[in-house]
Amino acid sequence: MGWNMKLPGFIDSHMHYLGLGYTSSNVDLTKANSIVEIIALLKEELPKPVLIGRGWNQENLLEKRMLNKEDLNAVSRDIPIIMTRVCGHVLTANDKMLELAGITKDTIQVDGGTFNYDTGVFSENALSLILSSLSKPTTMDLENYLQLADKILLKNGITSVASDDFCIFNIPFEDVIAVINKMVAEDKIHVNITEQVNLPLNELKRFIEKGFVNKEFKKFKMGPLKILADGSLGGKTAYLNKPYEDDPSNRGIYTYSDDELFELIHLANSNGMDVVIHAIGDASVDQVLKCLIKSIEQTKRFKHHHAIIHAQLATHKQIKLMKKYHIGAIIQPIFLNSDIKIIESRIGERMNESYLFKTMVDEGLNVGFSTDSPIEPINPFYNIYSAITRKSIKEPDLKAFLVEEGCDLETALKCYTINNLPYIKRKEMPLGDYIVIDKNIYDINSKSLLNISILETYIDNELVYKKAL
């Protein structure tokens, strides 16, 4: 028998519960090393009525280019195919899918997004042109996704999450609430879920009018409004103050004008709802801070738990401003896993003022850890490893990134538990939620973090996962 150790259950403060279940049931391209390999992998999946997958990343592909529609046409011209990039902000569709979605050379571009008919590549708001024409999942599908996600979370020692689930499928938010509540009532899912309410303005109004603000069900609560303000660094859609180093005509994408963003924030904030906003680029963080601070000052609602999600390119100055207005940071050290090798090419010298995670802690922001799973692996020990070592797990030979911005184990554990409490709308750590691991976490080197096994997971003192021996 080795060392067995009890730890509090982990809290992941930004992930996609339904998305994790859905993705886990789709084709996984994260390990593909070339487009040739992707095509072969997809052909193996045939025959199928529709082929959906996720996880390609041109940086990892031998060809060093985006996946395009001809690649997917080579898999099949008869069935619709959609392959989403690892970031979730870019996708490629084949001709059959374009036809199904009614996209032609003459289709008009949408605000806050772009698509290219010739390459079949869609980004940001333009994703909906494709995704909205997929057939909707049945209740049975949703139940399967939820159960699959719950299993994955428990196996990884996650007992509570803040999760963004309302806009992954084109279905009313009430349906998502109903199916989650049903699964909880039937004891088929166990993890505590606080919803990061991701809704467009009109739907948010309906959500408020119907009395859903801060509503709590058993194990499932309505949390903050979730807003997406820009894209991703990998996809070159994060909104920057100066152009991308490797794309001098491009500064990325913002999703809303200042007025639109303020309207959304203010509607939530003045109805007593916190706001958490995805912002990666420095220009996006500027825009978010401007609108958020304006709303905080107008409502005088200073005891809030608003936060910026990601904030990788937040500068020292922006971090100070966040502190002044009590705006937290929900960050993902594990993003270094994929980002280390692109940071310099994307932003050049600006990289020296990026991923300032220790600075955020030292400046006194409420820093919470999360994985944005299924974007990156849900394993909390991988995330802690990245936070401490500032290294990529999948590319161990790459140099650690700004190693002085790494934190110690104690801080990492705090960011994964206590600091995340406000983001799941709890005041105290739930003592009945804990895990048993196979090593003494305080007495191992950082590399061994990657080999920790979770033996048991408990929620409300009930054993909900036990590792098969």
Q: Is the Cβ of residue 372 or residue 405 nearer to Zn ion in the bound state?
A: 372
* Residue type, position 117, single letter: Y
Q: Is the Cβ of residue 277 or residue 459 nearer to Zn ion in the bound state?
A: 277
Q: Is the Cβ of residue 76 or residue 379 nearer to Zn ion in the bound state?
A: 379
Q: Least distance from C-beta 88 to Zn ion, angstroms?
A: 7
Q: Contact at 8 Å (CB) between 413 and 384?
A: yes
Q: Least distance from C-beta 215 to Zn ion, angstroms?
A: 22
- Whole-number Å distance between alpha carbons of 461 and 131: 40
> Residue 310 — left, alpha, or beta (φ > 0 → left; ψ -120 to 50 → alpha)?
left
Question: For residue 48, how many other CB atoms are within 10 A of its CB?
Answer: 12
Q: Least distance from C-beta 14 to Zn ion, angstroms?
A: 6
- CA distances to 21, 90, 208, 373 from 87, rounded to whole Å, are 17, 7, 30, 10
Q: Contact at 8 Å (CB) between 359 and 397?
A: no
Q: Is the Cβ of residue 165 or residue 372 nearer to Zn ion in the bound state?
A: 372
* 3-class SS letters over 291-323: HHHHHHHHHCCCCCCCEEEECCCCCHHHHHHHH
Closest CA to 380 of 146, 159, 158: 158
Strands (E), 316-433: 328-331, 367-369
Q: Least distance from C-beta 164 to Zn ion, angstroms?
A: 6
Q: Is the Cβ of residue 286 or residue 372 nearer to Zn ion in the bound state?
A: 372
In the complex, the residues that contact Zn ion under the rule CB under 5 A are 372
Q: Least distance from C-beta 230 to Zn ion, angstroms?
A: 12
Q: Is the Cβ of residue 10 or residue 465 nearer to Zn ion in the bound state?
A: 10
Question: For residue 233, how many other CB atoms are within 10 A of its CB?
Answer: 25
Q: Which residues of 127-161 are buried (b: 16+ CB within 10 A; e: fewer)?
A: bebbbebbeebeeebbbebbebbbbbbbbbbbbbb
Q: Least distance from C-beta 131 to Zn ion, angstroms?
A: 15
Q: Is the Cβ of residue 309 or residue 435 nearer to Zn ion in the bound state?
A: 309
- Whole-number Å distance between alpha carbons of 457 and 433: 8
* Residue type, position 17, single letter: Y
Residues contacting 11, CB < 8 A, separation 6+: 158, 159, 160, 161, 162, 368, 416, 417, 420, 421, 423, 424
Q: Is the Cβ of residue 230 or residue 372 nearer to Zn ion in the bound state?
A: 372
Shortest-Cβ-distance residue relative to Zn ion: 372
Q: Is the Cβ of residue 97 or residue 127 nearer to Zn ion in the bound state?
A: 127
Q: Least distance from C-beta 86 to Zn ion, angstroms?
A: 12
Q: Least distance from C-beta 367 to Zn ion, angstroms?
A: 17
Question: For residue 242, how many other CB atoms are within 10 A of its CB?
Answer: 12
Residues contacting 199, CB < 8 A, separation 6+: 166, 167, 173, 207, 225
Q: Least distance from C-beta 372 to Zn ion, angstroms?
A: 4
Q: Least distance from C-beta 373 to Zn ion, angstroms?
A: 9
Q: Is the Cβ of residue 87 or residue 321 nearer to Zn ion in the bound state?
A: 87
Q: Contact at 8 Å (CB) between 112 and 80?
A: no
